[in-house]
Structure 1
Amino acid sequence: MKKPFRLRFEAKKNRLKRHADEVLREIGRALLLTGGIAAVTALLLFGFDLTIRSSTLSIRETVVRGCKELTEKDILTLAAIRPAANILTLNPDAIARRIRTNPWIREVFIGREFPDRLVIVIRERKAVALLQKQGGLYLLDSNGAPFKRMESGDEPNLPVLTGLVREGITDEALVMKSIALLIYLADAKDIPAIGAVSEVHGNETFGLSLFTETGLCLQLGFDGYENKLKRLIPVMADLDRKNMKTGFLLIDLNDPTKINVQQRNILEPARPVGAGKRYRM
């Protein structure tokens, strides 16, 4: 009985030894792998530290594109990029947020041109009119959004939209119709020359009236502006023959069956403070 017991004991001891050797090998592999990962990580960190400290990737030139109303200096001031900043560690989103604080900015794109150039591309809002509201004039974009109050340094040569804000409430529908009318007039080739538009006046009962710097007042109503303006062709030709185009004229185009023309002797309206030469209030 002793011999089998001794054999079983020896076998068990050998199995434990083999298992211990396997455990030690696994531990060795794990330590080696951990050491390798640590070495690679340290090498990468060291390389990254060298990269961000390298003067090769320091920004030497910042290019600004798309400026019209704003200047390159304005954009660089808003961007607030520190001198010799590293092009890799720069935060484009933060720069774009700072630039967008200016009301003229519609979109901002920040790009990197390695190794040392930063490119800032902006898209500005385009003001198409001025809106009279709350005792001041506000710049409107093509979507009818007032994005900036006109200040003393602003000199946009734009028509003024009046009568569209009543008791603090803006008539959005008439604002959009006014803007659509102005955009149409800017490119229209099939209507007579009426001069530059100085004012578009809105009335909730009578619709839109258009004033020009030549003295015309065109009553247009609420719709069909293109066809109504085309009806001016024979009227303006007749007024030209009668030498009546130089006075202040009120032309009512609302009635589809007739056109009423009245000559009015009126004084030129007073201009608002800070308005340009084409503002009419």
Structure 2
Amino acid sequence: MLHDLFHINQPAQLKARSARCKKEPLGAMLIRLQGRLFLWAILLTMLGGGLWFGAKAVYKELCQSDFFQITAINIEGCNHTSKKELLAQSGLDIHTNLLALQPAELKAVLGKNPWIEDVEITRSWPNKLFIAVREKTPAALINLKSGLFFLDRNGVTIGPANLPGDIDYPVLTGNFSPDRTAGNSRLKEALLFLQLTAKGGSSYLPNQNISEIHLTKDDELILFLLDRAFPIYLGKECSKKQHGRLVSVLRDLYRKNEFNTTNYINMHYKDDQVLIGRVSAIPQPQG
């Protein structure tokens, strides 16, 4: 009889349980599920936070560890700057921790040096640092009231020249002043002429044969060569066309053996005409 009651009551219990499940609203089930997810999120956050704080504490200890103290600093690429100068500017010493070092910040500090164009920082673990600098390439020297200064290709002063070792560059002289240096249009024309000469590679007008470019009070440019310092009047513009014409004029003078008897060259005489002045013949003394 009990066996029969069991079989009789079992379907009734299953039906009651099924009825309760069917009666539970969908919203209540979602709320209960969200509650569980929220608890899991709290647990994971606490676990992640503990790991983060633990890692931060370990990193802080390593940043103060003697194991990562810098023992060797190698600086390459110095020409106009010096390793001693850049090391002093960097603020690095044997107490600096290589792990705590911020390469971007060090690069920004060294980049404030007017000679430095780019810096590459390499850390060799656990305690060596390599610094490779690329200096700006001087385009010319400019003669200012305070002395000779290097100019970059944009016409910005880089630093003072050290005489007599730094004289192997064309010198810009004349009507230049510090407040006009960076934006002066004639200065840009002079630098353009030097760039064209450097790129041209002509044996008749090599870059190393340019001695001086002088700016007159009328803002006109005059070129002087090393081998014979007669004036070459360039005018107010130094176009690629004019540069090429000057190369052709010098080529003809050399080929005709007339270079040594030339007194001046006027590149802007009339329109596209070039005027070449000759040295007057010296009268021979009479017996």
Residue 153 of structure 1: how far off its partner (Å):
8.0
DSSP-derived class of the 1:161 partner: strand
Aligned AA (2:276)? N
Residues 67-97 of structure 1, C-alpha deviations (whole Å, 9 max, x = no match): 2222333322322212142212123344334
Q: Distance in 2 between matches of 1:65 and 1:77?
A: 15
Question: Residue 219 of structure 1 aligns with which residue?
Answer: 233
Question: Residue 104 of structure 1 aligns with which residue?
Answer: 115
Q: Does the Cα contact within 8 Å between 1:251 and 1:262 map onto a contact in 2? A: no
Larger-gyration structure (1/2):
2
Residue 229 of structure 1: how far off its partner (Å):
1.2
Which has the higher mean CA deviation after the structures are superposed, 123-132 or 203-212?
Answer: 203-212
Question: Residue 21 of structure 1 aligns with which residue?
Answer: none
Higher-RCO chain (CA-CA 8 Å, sequence separation at least 6): 1
Question: Residue 234 of structure 1 aligns with which residue?
Answer: 252
Residues 227-254 of structure 1, C-alpha deviations (whole Å, 9 max, x = no match): 321331212322x2x5x52x67322222
Which has the higher mean CA deviation after the structures are superposed, 53-62 or 137-146?
Answer: 53-62
Residues 153-208 of structure 1, C-alpha deviations (whole Å, 9 max, x = no match): 86242111122426954461111111111122223244625761110012364732
1:81 to 88, 92, 105: 92
DSSP-derived class of the 1:142 partner: coil
The alignment status of 1:257 with 2:269, answered yes or no, reads no
Q: Distance in 1 between matches of 2:55 and 2:210?
A: 65
Structure 1 unaligned segments of length 5 or more: list them: 1-28, 265-281
DSSP-derived class of the 1:165 partner: coil
Structure 2 unaligned segments of length 5 or more: list them: 1-39, 281-287
Question: Residue 198 of structure 1 aligns with which residue?
Answer: 211
Q: How many equivalent pairs are there?
A: 234
- RMSD over aligned Cα, in angstroms? 3.6
DSSP-derived class of the 2:231 partner: strand
Q: Distance in 1 between matches of 2:193 and 2:53?
A: 66
In the TM superposition, 1:98-247 aligns within 5 A as 98-151=109-162, 155-165=166-176, 169-170=180-181, 172-190=184-202, 192-193=204-205, 196-203=209-216, 205=218, 207-215=220-228, 216-221=230-235, 222-223=237-238, 224-232=241-249, 233-238=251-256, 240=257, 245=260
Residue 142 of structure 1: how far off its partner (Å):
0.6
The alignment status of 1:65 with 2:80, answered yes or no, reads no
Q: Distance in 2 between matches of 1:94 and 1:165?
A: 36
Aligned AA (2:273)? T
Aligned AA (2:211)? S
Q: Does the Cα contact within 8 Å between 1:191 and 1:230 map onto a contact in 2? A: no
The 1:162/1:108 distance shift into structure 2, 3 A limit, reads same
Which has the higher mean CA deviation after the structures are superposed, 197-206 or 43-52?
Answer: 43-52
The 1:152/1:102 distance shift into structure 2, 3 A limit, reads farther
Residue 143 of structure 1: how far off its partner (Å):
0.8
In the TM superposition, 1:88-99 aligns within 5 A as 88-99=99-110
Q: Does the Cα contact within 8 Å between 1:199 and 1:211 map onto a contact in 2? A: yes
Residue 40 of structure 1: how far off its partner (Å):
4.5
Residue 140 of structure 1: how far off its partner (Å):
0.5
Q: Distance in 2 between matches of 1:169 and 1:192?
A: 32
Q: Does the Cα contact within 8 Å between 1:220 and 1:228 map onto a contact in 2? A: no
- Please give the TM-score of this superposition, normalised by the length of structure 1: 0.67
